[in-house]
Amino acid sequence: MTLDADVFFLPAAEGEQRLCLFHAPAGSPRSKLLYLHPFAEEMNKSRRMAALACRALAEAGHAVLQIDLRGCGDSSADFGAARWADWQDDVRLALAELDRRAPGEAPLWLWGLRAGALLAVGDWGRPVNHLFWQPMGSGKLALQQFLRLKLAAEMAGGASKGLMEQMKAELASGRSVEVAGYTLGAALASGLEAARLAPAGVPGRVEWMELGTREDATLTPAGEQAVKAWQDAGWTVRAQGVQGPSFWSTTEIELAPALIARTVEALA
């Protein structure tokens, strides 16, 4: 059975609103999930995969809420005006809405893709589990990868020398920079750079999935080290490599059906 998502605008602070999609299960939810999208253009590249995964999870009995963070997608404000703290507020806003639409004691999962995983970690004042898709270990790495997009675009013209240092200096001085069609504000850059994929709050479960091109895909060494840190902090972590493309960065929209199937199995 295919379940249609409820698309709506969620009122936010200062008269703004956030675009949300709620995927309701047919009966009482087995669990509740909040999906947190990746950074900048990676969000758009991942929309199809996220939509298919949300639908599959709803059909498997889970309640899923998606939110376009402030300045992203069809939500209020420009990307350049967003701050990391705004996005943390959006997580709290979305969790309250998820509770309203799926009341009860079903387990709560924060599901982050790439930099979305960095936003998912924190002490939310309640027990949470985590579903990580290709999580980034630090916001500093995410910021560097994003800035390199402009670096790559300038290389053909020979204007890339010193550009990375120049962009970092602009951000450090409180000014915005333009990267790949996005205006990156200094407040968002500093908040992202300070983010870490570190355990926080009451230990729960973590489903950690990384994609690879081989059928016997495994975690990266950095991923294995991060998983151990979560385990040492008392979290129950199940990590697995899954075959599939890096759909968040491919030129054409691509899918990783095995990742969706493994996710549904993991939360069963």
CA dihedral 236, 47, 62, 106 (to 10 degrees): 50
Q: Tell me the C-alpha distance between 130 and 196, whole Å.
A: 15
Per-residue model confidence (pLDDT) at position 70 = 98
Q: What confidence tens digit (pLDDT) does each residue in 83-106 have? A: 999 999 999 999 999 999 999 999
Side chain identity at 107, as an amino acid letter?
P
Per-residue model confidence (pLDDT) at position 157 = 58
Per the CB < 8 A criterion, the answer to whether 110 and 207 are in contact is: no
Per the CB < 8 A criterion, the answer to whether 20 and 98 are in contact is: no
Distances (CA, A) of 103 to 25, 99, 168, 180: 13, 5, 45, 41
Radius of gyration of the chain (CA): 18
Please give the domain boundaries of the chain with CATH numbers for all domains. 6-138+196-266 (3.40.50.1820), 139-194 (no CATH)
Per-residue model confidence (pLDDT) at position 87 = 98
24 contacts: CB under 8 Å, gap ≥ 6? 3, 6, 58, 63, 101, 102
Per the CB < 8 A criterion, the answer to whether 36 and 111 are in contact is: yes
pTM over 0.85: yes
Q: Which residues of the chain have pLDDT under 50?
A: none
Per-residue model confidence (pLDDT) at position 158 = 60
Q: Tell me the C-alpha distance between 58 and 172, whole Å.
A: 43
Q: Which two tokens stand for residue 261?
A: 């199937």
Which among 121, 5, 120, 112 has a CA at the least distance from the CA of 54? 5
